[in-house]
Amino acid sequence: MSGPSAPREAPAFWRRRSLAAIALLPLAAVFAVLAGLRRALYRLGVLRSERLPVPVIVVGNIAVGGSGKTPVVAWLVARLREAGFSPGIVSRGYGGEVTDVALVPADGEAARFGDEPVLLARLTGCPLAVGADRPAAARALLAAHPGCNVIVCDDGLQHYRLARDVEVAVVDEDTLGNRWRLPAGPLREGVERLREVDVVLAHGAISPVLVRRLGDVPVFGMALAGDVFRSLDGRETRPAADFRGRRVHAVAGIGRPERFFAQLAGMGIEVVPHAFPDHHRFTPSDLAFAPGEASVMTSKDAVKCAAFALPDTWEFPVTARIAAGAAERILERLTHGRETA
């Protein structure tokens, strides 16, 4: 249990403390009590967390919606390799068809394994396993890849069955909305939970009020950046300047589509926005734009659309650019956490 199921598209009332949100506060209170009780049972050992034979780094957040976790996982894997580790990744596989546990090949289908795991497998080349049971997924990964000596768990902050050595929270303050718990707001856990993590990566500016609430947790800024467009077949790349002043259909089935649209507009592109729910399963009709007009989409959407997208369809790949010191802090906590476990 990690909380009630969230809608595929965030309701507007999550952004403010409206009457609709207030009406759901009794349910939010019940959820908060149950979630707090569950976590207390893990802390007391009544419910048991499974500790793997290798260290685990969890990358997650406290709110429903996109905050940039997938590029952060790719960034973290690269830093771990530079430090001499052989990382593997486990993920829920949300949106996929896997009901048990499965290893994800680099050429895996998003419909089966989920869009984010397939994208991570292609970006990193890491061993990757998906499953709702994260410890079982990690065991399967380690059995298939015994050389793996650290696990990165994508979006597992509330999955307390998997013991962790380091917690990294990715925070986009806008996704915190009205600061209330599900279903009255977008929070899976309260903002105070962030005081307990090892590192906070702030995607964009965060307010002084939130900084104070974070206490002594180290906060490092991050941004998602890109400067080229790539055809969906991967055969051609073009500089962003080629699209400046051009009318482009921007397609995004992610948690924060408006951030993607704003990024393209900031590059001087005339954006025609097409927002879809997070993890949307695209069909050819979704991309049936006027002939001769280009379309651009996120990498997360491109892995689902490559088979049927029209020729003038482009992916805008981005990478996480994270402030100096974040990787060193994570590696320090990784070594310390395993020594004191």
| CA of residue 5 relative to chain centroid, distance | 17
Write the CATH number for 77. Answer: 3.40.50
- Does 168 share its domain with 216? yes
Identify whether residues 199 and 305 lie together within a single domain: no
One domain, residues 309 and 330: no
126 assigned to some structural domain: no
Residues 179 and 243 in one domain: no
Residues 27 and 76 in one domain: yes
Does residue 182 form part of some domain? yes
Residue 117 belongs to a domain? no
Same domain, 194 and 273: no
Q: What is the pLDDT of residues 212-233, one digit of tens each?
A: 999 999 999 999 999 999 999 8
Q: Are residues 190 and 236 in the same domain?
A: no
Number of residues in the chain: 341
Answer whether residue 136 is part of any domain. no
Instruction: Locate 221 and state its tokens.
Output: 């800024």
Residues 194, 304: one domain? no
Please give the pLDDT value at position 337.
59
The span from the CA of 104 to the CA of 98, in Å, is 10
Structural domain count of the chain: 2
What pLDDT, on a 0 to 100 scale, did the predictor assign at position 234? 83
Q: What is the pLDDT of residues 15-38, one digit of tens each?
A: 999 999 999 999 999 999 999 999
C-alpha gyration radius of the chain: 20
pLDDT of residue 338: 56
Q: Yes or no: say if 119 and 301 are a contact pair by the CB < 8 Å rule.
A: no
> Does 276 share its domain with 327?
no
pLDDT for the residue 71:
95
Q: Are residues 242 and 277 in the same domain?
A: yes
Q: What is the pLDDT of residue 310?
A: 87
Separation CA 242–CA 207 (nearest Å) = 36
pLDDT of residue 339: 55
For residue 89, which of 107, 61, 69 has the smallest C-alpha distance? 69
Note whether 169 and 299 are same-domain residues: no
Q: Which structural domain range is residue 296 located in? A: 227-317
| DSSP 8-state symbol, 63 | B
Q: Is 272 left (phi over 0), alpha (psi -120 to 50) or beta?
A: beta
> Which residue numbers in the chain have pLDDT < 50?
1-7
> Residue 30: enclosing H or E segment and its boundaries?
helix 25-44
Instruction: Kindly state whether residue 269 falls inside one of the protein's structural domains.
Output: yes
Please tell me the distance from the alpha carbon of residue 30 to that of residue 15, in angstroms, as a whole number. 21
Q: What pLDDT score was predicted for residue 335? A: 84
Residue 71 within any structural domain of the chain: yes
The verdict on residue 130 lying in a domain is no
The identity of residue 156, as a single letter, is: G
Query: Is position 308 within any domain?
Result: yes
Q: Which residues contact 75 (CB under 8 A, 6 or more apart)?
A: 319, 320, 322
- Do 27 and 81 share a domain, yes or no? yes
| pLDDT at 154 (0 to 100) | 94
